[in-house]
Structure 1
């Protein structure tokens, strides 16, 4: 086998690492628990992964421009606590509209601090993480706030055989996929992530693109929060706590690069389902709850490692192509 063939095999392995990991997990958990392989359980996995997938789709937009948003968990808590406190008895459509608007405002604050005040995204969103959670804790009085029965009914309703949370997730997914793949805006997002200086020279308003992706992430965090609320019934002080980690891991596992310019929402959805498969499998085999954080952290490590290796190998291949074309 030649060196070139070996590199191609390694690259193919890295690009399909999430699928390989998923198949391994299914085989392992399936051998340890017969219930794990049931169609009902797989439907439960997708339903439980719906809110993670929605938030991760928003995170994908941010990662594509080489950004980061650590405040999505605080955003979903702050946005949803308003719905829980002040919108009992309202039509859930209005609840989603209000939560989405609040999420948009939260994302706009992040965007303003990053694009106008030029604070690094990591620091800016880390700060709004604490600010957003503090506001939510103040509004709730650090108490568990139940959601209205309309929101709870939403989580238990099915349409055409699928739970409503899955339909909401599919709607967000289709809109995001069309936006990234079939619109000029989507191509601009990829261009800014690949090379912001070249994008600016090409006439793209880089600051506007950066501002918009954080707004999109904010809206997705709020919508994902309400989808989660429809399943957990109440918002406690830990609602959305550390949700940013599985969300980022889902996007990166699905092939979205932390360095920007590569990835998409299809892989992100698969990454979210993979992470939920792990949690579901651990429950099925009655694993110690203290093992959960260790497993999730291992998945995050694998995701970052695979992304780093994949990005480095793709860069080397691109440099080699450039040299061949120049010659």
Structure 2
């Protein structure tokens, strides 16, 4: 297609009244390359960052203590385990799927690690490797049901959520599982004065970013999320891609469970309950579309995760009633979905207005040239 600015200049040159030319352009062609529309598109694509800045300033004004270094450190530490799960969730959401079983996966993996250490006296590292292996199997079962059995991801992962929790409650006899210092020490360990949970989260984000942006698998994930049929026609093995993302989600859920239990030191019946919704909200608030094909781990999911933890910390600082906080969390998820839908609709509308073939534009201009010549 010809450069829009050239078409604009050519047509404007034909008319003495530039306002008439601009009116023609507005009616006949939507210039995505104009400064105004570039700003609008940039704003739509960076809604998470805008929200982050606005909410950060609001809480800072309401409670000056919110700006303390200690608070920032606490937010980053608390965001670490949810962020790890949210990264895995991002992979699944990018393909247009969903994983509601990550909380149960955390519960089962962490409990299994604790039981192995306490009952069999195996080395801590062996127990943690087995926990990650359980997460792998959990994700593989989800993938098998979605890819081979053709069951909707929502149904599969919802079922696995109940199955995972049921198995764990049977194994633990509904009793809390405690962990030794070899595990809890990881939660308090610091390297260069940075908490270990934050370092693990940063490493996960880095590798996830590399996979999504610098590898064939990453490009295939986006392709499958945009249009799975077109991806198949292009030679992409969509089944392999779907298996990969559910396994990644399962493994990272297990890692998130380990990081969480390293901070808490105990796994009880409520461990991981509801964390799947925080993970979804983190990913979606970070700009990942629930419809697939759009989103990023960095800065997207990272910003979304920290934003949610910042809101929760801010509510404590401004002394919001504890019983109201779940309502606010639900409102955040609703807001995330609403903003995602609005952004998707607006960008699609702008793109549709921008799609006009060179032939249509040139014919319109040539027709006007002929009319001007005849007159």
Normalised by the size of structure 2, how large is the TM-score?
0.83
Q: 1:91 to 1:314 in 2, by over 3 A?
A: farther
| Partner residue of 1:204 out of 230, 236, 245 | 236
The structural deviation recorded for 1:92 is: 4.5
Q: Calculate the aligned-residue CA RMSD, in Å.
A: 1.9
- Specify the alignment match of 2:70 in structure 1: 40
Deviation at 1:43, TM superposition (A): 1.1
The match for 1:289 is: 322
Give the aligned partner of residue 84 of structure 1. 114
Contact 1:91–1:150 under 8 Å retained in 2: no
Name 1:302's counterpart in structure 2: 335
**Could you list the per-position Cα deviations for residues 218-253 of structure 1 after superposition, in whole angstroms to 9, with x for gaps in the alignment?**
001000111111111111100000111110010011
* Compared CA separation, residues 217 and 324, structure 1 to 2 (3 A): same
Q: How many pairs align?
A: 327
**1:194 counterpart = 2:226:** yes
Look up the match of 2:14: none
Deviation at 1:210, TM superposition (A): 0.7
Give the CA deviation at 1:325.
4.8
- Seen in structure 2, the aligned counterparts of structure 1 residues 6 and 297 have a Cα distance that, compared at 3 Å, is farther
In 2, the alpha carbon distance for the partners of 1:7 and 1:238 equals 48
- CA shift in 2, pair 1:14/1:93, >3 Å: farther
Distance, in Å, in 1 between the alignment partners of 2:187 and 2:99 is: 27
**Higher Cα Rg, which structure:** 2
Aligned counterparts, 1:118-267, within 5 A: 118-266=150-298, 267=300
| Other-structure match for 2:303 | 270
Structure 1 partner of 2:312: 279
| Structure 2 CA distance for partners of 1:92 and 1:32, relative to 1, 3 Å | farther
Q: Which residue in the other structure is 1:67 paired with?
A: 97
Aligned partners of 1:157 and 1:36: how far apart in 2? 25
Cα distance, 1:50 vs. partner? Answer: 0.3
C-alpha spacing 1:326/1:227, structure 2 compared with 1 (3 Å) = farther
Q: Kindly indicate whether the alpha-carbon contact (under 8 Å) linking 1:249 and 1:271 is maintained by their aligned counterparts in 2.
A: yes
Q: Any conservation in 1 of the 2:52–2:303 contact (CA below 8 Å)?
A: no
> Which 10-residue stretch deviates more, 72-81 or 142-151?
142-151
Q: Distance in 1 between matches of 2:49 and 2:77?
A: 20
| Residues 108-134 of structure 1: per-residue CA shift (max 9 Å, x gap) | 001101111100000111100000010
Residue 42 of structure 1 deviates from its aligned partner by: 0.3
Q: CA deviation at 1:95?
A: 3.7
Superposed CA deviations along residues 84-121 of structure 1, whole A, max 9, x for unmatched, are 11124655543432221100100000110111110000
Stretches of structure 2 that go unaligned for 5 or more consecutive residues are: 1-21, 361-375
1:7 Cα shift?
6.1
For 1:18, the equivalent position in structure 2 comes to 48
Task: Tell me how far apart the structure 2 counterparts of residues 179 and 95 of structure 1 sit (CA, whole Å).
Answer: 27
- Aligned 1:78-117 pairs, distance under 5 A: 78-88=108-118, 92-117=124-149
Structure 1: which 5+ runs fail to align? none
Q: Which one is further off, 85-94 or 150-159? A: 85-94
- Residues in 1 aligned to 2:311 and 2:204: alpha-carbon distance in whole angstroms: 24
Residue aligned with 2:272, SS = coil
